[in-house]
Amino acid sequence: MLTISKQFHFSASHVLDKLPSWHKCARMHGHNYVVVMELSAHPDDLTEAGFVRDYGDLDRFKTWVDETLDHRHLNEVMGISTSAENMALWIFSQWVERYPELTAVWVSETPKTWAVYRVEPRRTPAGG
């Protein structure tokens, strides 16, 4: 299996509203998020150029991040609990149809923490 990844950045606020009122994350706060998209393909499924997917094809995701997530209040955008874990799953579900090679989405709220949603790679030819 061959894997590529690309990192994206945005800033946003959120409230983890299912926490006790005394918990600091129950108050509105913000993060400088890092999202990593990971795409995988079997060697037989690479594009003619030898790519899992051309990195330039991920520009659509960058545009979406800038328009949908950057400098937004995530509770208003996502419609579910805005934990990093839920965000990884939510982003994956928004993009797996456009990027069938998508195997993982990593979300970081701080330099030391990561949440990952991962699936097994599908045998789907890349480049679509």
Q: Which residues are catalytic?
A: 25, 71, 109
Report the alpha-carbon distance of residue 34 to residue 110 in Å, rounded. 8
Determine the residue type at 115: A
DSSP codes joined into one string, 23-38: SGGGS-EEEEEEEEEE
Place of tokens 């079997």: 42
- What burial letters (b/e) apply to 32-62, b meaning 16+ CB within 10 Å? ebbbbbbbbbbeebbeeeebbbeeebbeebe
Strand pairing class (113-118; 2-14): unpaired
